A and B are shown apart, each in its own frame.
Chain A
Amino acid sequence: MLAIDKFCYTSKLRYVNASEKFALSIVTLLICIAAQSFVISAAVMAVMGVLTVRKGGLPFARYRKMMFWPLGFLILSTLAIVVNLSRTPLDLFAFPVGGWYLTGSAAGALRAGRLIVTALSGVSCLYFLSLSTPMTDILTVLGRCRCPKLIIELMLLIYRFIFVLLDIASAMTTAQNARLGNKDFRTAYHSFGQMASALLVRALKKSNALYDAMEARCYDGTIRVLKEDYPPKPGEIAAIVVFELILLILFAGRLTGWVM
């Protein structure tokens, strides 16, 4: 099992109504992106962190590590905003390089900072959702949101097949390794290619077999399954509404300038 998948199935928030979790994470995400504010992002990260770690039961060290993955990427990609190559030095810093300057402005740095915290807070929203809600529950919510059936069915099958194919791939890789298939880089490279092509063939065969099995159960082109959901709780809904209202007030503050 993938780690993220394991966490969502063992999360203490798993049996909370999926629509609630979905709404909380998506609405919050939208406000974060729209506001691009230090205060709002910090608040969101704190709340989502507490929800995922304290309420959900994910080990903090693990969560911290997961938050660091996008951070590295974000820092690298915002470097371009902070650092400029220019003939004239800017206000924050400037290093002369020949006749040019490696330089940055305070406004640029602020913008980069905003971008990083906004993105991180967005990530924390999505982590909250994906670390507390199994894929099948998210699909049920998407169905309620009138997402096209075809897309939902595809997601359902793809999600199941990720694991089926991962199993086959890891079994094949083990079998290759057992026969020195990874003895040096060249061989390993070659083995991987062969494994991938064999996997494709197996995937096609599997999909045919799966189709037969579904037909045997009267499949007629639409996948109908019962929805699994847990009743929403008024208290939780109230808390979500209050939280979003606070964020909206902060958002208004950001527009008028009294919130960073």
Chain B
Amino acid sequence: MGDVIIKAEDLWYSYEGEEAHALKGLSLELKKGHRIALMGANGAGKSTFFLCCNGIHRPQKGTLYYDGKPVSYDKKGLLELRRKVGIVFQDPENQLFSASVYQEISFGILNLGVSDEEAAREVERVIGELEITSFRHKPVHALSGGQKKQVSIADILVMRPEVIFFDEPAAALDPKHAGMVRRIVDRLAEEGITVVVSTHDVDFAYGWADDVFLFHEGKVLVWGGPEEVFANRTALEMTNLEQPAALKLFESLCRKGILKTELPFPRNLNTLEEYIAKTERPVYTGGIRDMDKERKKGVLVVSFGTSVNETREKTIDVIEEDIRQAFPDCALYRAWTSGMIIRKLKKRDGVHIDTVTEAAERMLKDGITEVLVQPTHVINGVENDLMIQHMLAFQGRFDRIVFGSPLLTSEEDSEETVRALMAEFGGLGKEEALVFMGHGTTHYANSIYAALDYRFKDMGYLNVFLGTVEAYPSLETLMKLVHAYGAKKVTLAPFMVVAGDHAINDMSSDDEDSWRSQFEADGFQVSCVLKGLGEYEGIRKLYVKHLKEADAG
């Protein structure tokens, strides 16, 4: 057995002042150049074993062998052992003693008695290898958890050990840093260093290790190759571990007859995915259409909502009515996305309006199997994205979900919209300007407002302007443009589906910040048309058309 590097024979160890033993007759052999995972519940003796291997703890009973020779606990022997066996502790705070990264790393190598020049060379080497350069001049206490971990690994690597113990290397790190630490661990193993990792991460141990040891109450319960150890459910249960996900899924797919049991155990989820990809059998995802079940279509009309009842009657209600007539066989449902407005109505009028999720639940309960969703949103902004996400959460529970697009989606939509609006504002004089007020958003879809303003001009309406309350083009921009055009009279109209709070307060009120007041203050003669987009017939037709296109697929 020349390839065993560390051998423990019946080790017993108890901490000072404690009756219970941390190690109770531990025996094991760690092989040179192997990737070794030590697993087990907290307090199973893994960390104690680490400290024994480095000579920090001297077992009260039993013998520890390094490279075939029993460890000697005199000063020289210990120094020799610690030069060859390095430990990266779980909490870097317990390991880093200097506030300077450079000094910290130089400590171990200087203890080996090398010259300052050689030490400096080695320190620079690990700083480069472990990508510490970018933060080497920062004080240790200003580093992130992941960076501290990098330094604590560098601490050990600089000493060029033959065996490195990592005590839970990914503990308390974010996935990115945990991944980085794993790559370092991997690279060390490839360089031929014996890497011993204590971990609770079964998926990692299963995919990475050559040998797995399960510790239980100060002893090795089971050890062997990962397939062997992780197939032992009883041992896993005793050590508070679960089966690795890849193995669990593989067994389940084998039981169902989807994968063949002759296949080698997949070591990670990617391999398993390849197995599945290679199967001949069709694999269904999402809802499977049941032929016996009756097909029942429903339409869900999603609006932002409004607390002004008069405008709702003239806009949302009418849009819904138009859609109902276009889809006579479908039950129609309403959902609003503004929680604030829903709560306000509930409190003020005692009226309940569904959110998207509630409406979907209601449709499921009513036995709807296919959902046509039509938003009354103007642009493909955040509200629309969120609505789609809410709805897609029900993907598996309906046979089909389709989404009609918001008002302004394609180029054709823009053209149609201009036509629909101008059909109602035909007789504009030369000295009159028509200014629409849109909502505006920080979402990138906001650019459609400026594009549509351009489209008006392109289609010959040089005196029509479109701005937004909350984004670009702002009122300031509009005023500049209206002045430049040379209008004397201004007509204001909302470019929102409903003529609600914004149209009433921000556009037409007497408030000095309102658009009307500001245009008036600038010397224009102002009139307001309080009419939401939903009141224009052409706009409503566009929504119906969108839903029909979506339904046709």
- A binding-site residues for B, Cβ under 8 Å: 1, 5-6, 9, 134-136, 156-157, 159-160, 163-164, 167, 206, 209-210, 212-220, 223-226, 228
Shortest CB distance A226–B (Å): 4
- Chain B residues with CB under 8 A of A226: 102-103, 106, 110, 116, 119-120, 123
**How far is A163 from B159 in the complex, measured between Cα atoms in Å?**
27
Contact B79 A218 (CB under 8 A): yes
A-B complex: 6 closest residue pairs judged by Cβ atoms: A163-B141, A225-B103, A218-B111, A226-B106, A209-B94, A217-B108
Nearest residue (CB) in A for B82 is: A218
Shortest CB distance A137–B (Å): 8
- Chain A residues with CB under 8 A of B97: 156-157, 160, 210, 213-214, 223
- Chain B residues with CB under 8 A of A159: 99
Shortest CB distance A134–B (Å): 7
Cross-interface CB contact of B100 among A206, A210, A224, A228, cutoff 8 Å: A228
Name the segment of B85-93, B232-240, B452-460 touching the other chain. Answer: B85-93
Number of A-B contacts (CB under 8 A): 108
Shortest CB distance B35–A (Å): 21
Most chain B CB atoms below 10 A, which of A5, A159, A225? A225
**How far is A136 from B54 in the complex, measured between Cα atoms in Å?**
29
**How far is A216 from B97 in the complex, measured between Cα atoms in Å?**
13
Contact B111 A216 (CB under 8 A): no
**How far is A217 from B97 in the complex, measured between Cα atoms in Å?**
12
Most chain A CB atoms below 10 A, which of B86, B100, B112? B100
Tell whether A225 pairs with B107 under 8 Å between CB atoms, given A160-B98, A160-B141, A206-B93: yes
Tell whether A136 pairs with B141 under 8 Å between CB atoms, given A215-B56, A217-B156, A218-B111: no
Contact A212 B56 (CB under 8 A): yes
**How far is A215 from B50 in the complex, measured between Cα atoms in Å?**
13
Tell whether A206 pairs with B94 under 8 Å between CB atoms, given A212-B56, A216-B87: yes
User: Could you name 11 residue pairs across A and B whose Cβ atoms are closer than 8 Å?
Assistant: A1-B141, A9-B139, A160-B96, A209-B91, A209-B94, A215-B82, A217-B111, A218-B111, A218-B112, A220-B79, A226-B103
Q: Within 8 Å of chain A (Cβ to Cβ): is B138? A: yes
Nearest residue (CB) in B for A135 is: B99
Q: Within 8 Å of chain A (Cβ to Cβ): is B531? A: no
Contact B94 A223 (CB under 8 A): no
Q: Within 8 Å of chain A (Cβ to Cβ): is B104? A: yes
Cross-interface CB contact of B95 among A157, A163, A213, A220, cutoff 8 Å: A213
Contact B100 A134 (CB under 8 A): yes
**How far is A219 from B107 in the complex, measured between Cα atoms in Å?**
8
Contact B94 A210 (CB under 8 A): yes
Chain B stretch 149-197: residues in CB contact (< 8 A) with chain A: 155-156, 159
Q: Within 8 Å of chain A (Cβ to Cβ): is B504? A: no
Tell whether A216 pairs with B94 under 8 Å between CB atoms, given A9-B142, A226-B119: no
Tell whether A212 pairs with B51 under 8 Å between CB atoms, given A5-B139, A164-B93, A218-B108: yes
Cross-interface CB contact of A9 among B82, B110, B138, cutoff 8 Å: B138
- Chain B residues with CB under 8 A of A224: 106-107, 110-111
Main secondary structure of the interface of B (DSSP, over half): helix
**How far is A24 from B211 in the complex, measured between Cα atoms in Å?**
60
Q: Within 8 Å of chain A (Cβ to Cβ): is B83? A: yes
Q: Within 8 Å of chain A (Cβ to Cβ): is B126? A: no
Q: Within 8 Å of chain A (Cβ to Cβ): is B214? A: no
Q: Could you list 12 further interchain pairs (A-B, Cβ under 8 angstroms) beyond the known A134-B139, A163-B140, A217-B159? A: A9-B142, A136-B98, A156-B99, A160-B97, A209-B91, A210-B97, A214-B107, A225-B106, A226-B102, A226-B110, A226-B119, A228-B103
Nearest residue (CB) in B for A6 is: B142
Tell whether A217 pairs with B99 under 8 Å between CB atoms, given A225-B107, A226-B106, A226-B123: no
Contact B104 A225 (CB under 8 A): yes
Contact B56 A163 (CB under 8 A): no
**How far is A163 from B148 in the complex, measured between Cα atoms in Å?**
14
Cross-interface CB contact of B99 among A163, A206, A213, A219, cutoff 8 Å: A163
Tell whether A1 pairs with B103 under 8 Å between CB atoms, given A157-B97, A216-B87, A218-B108: no
- Chain A residues with CB under 8 A of B96: 160
**How far is A217 from B108 in the complex, measured between Cα atoms in Å?**
5
Tell whether A225 pairs with B99 under 8 Å between CB atoms, given A164-B93, A216-B87: no
**How far is A1 from B138 in the complex, measured between Cα atoms in Å?**
12
Contact A220 B99 (CB under 8 A): no
Shortest CB distance B164–A (Å): 11
Shortest CB distance A213–B (Å): 4
**Residue interface bits B253-275, CB-to-A below 8 A is 1, else 0:** 00000000000000000000000
- Chain A residues with CB under 8 A of B156: 217
**How far is A5 from B112 in the complex, measured between Cα atoms in Å?**
32
Contact B99 A134 (CB under 8 A): yes
Nearest residue (CB) in A for B93 is: A164
Contact A160 B103 (CB under 8 A): no
- Chain B residues with CB under 8 A of A9: 137-139, 142
Chain B stretch 496-538: residues in CB contact (< 8 A) with chain A: none
Nearest residue (CB) in A for B152 is: A213
Contact A1 B142 (CB under 8 A): yes
Shortest CB distance B316–A (Å): 45
- Chain A residues with CB under 8 A of B120: 226
Contact B95 A136 (CB under 8 A): no
- Chain A residues with CB under 8 A of B110: 224-226
Shortest CB distance A7–B (Å): 12
- Chain B residues with CB under 8 A of A228: 100, 102-103
Contact A225 B98 (CB under 8 A): yes
Shortest CB distance A119–B (Å): 29
Nearest residue (CB) in B for A205 is: B94
Contact B103 A217 (CB under 8 A): no
Nearest residue (CB) in B for A15 is: B137
- Chain A residues with CB under 8 A of B91: 209
Nearest residue (CB) in B for A220 is: B111
Shortest CB distance A130–B (Å): 14
**How far is A9 from B141 in the complex, measured between Cα atoms in Å?**
12
Shortest CB distance B194–A (Å): 16
Cross-interface CB contact of B86 among A163, A216, A219, cutoff 8 Å: A216
Contact B107 A217 (CB under 8 A): yes
Chain B stretch 40-74: residues in CB contact (< 8 A) with chain A: 51, 54, 56
Most chain B CB atoms below 10 A, which of A136, A156, A218, A223? A218
Tell whether A136 pairs with B103 under 8 Å between CB atoms, given A160-B97, A212-B56: yes
- Chain A residues with CB under 8 A of B141: 1, 5, 160, 163-164, 167
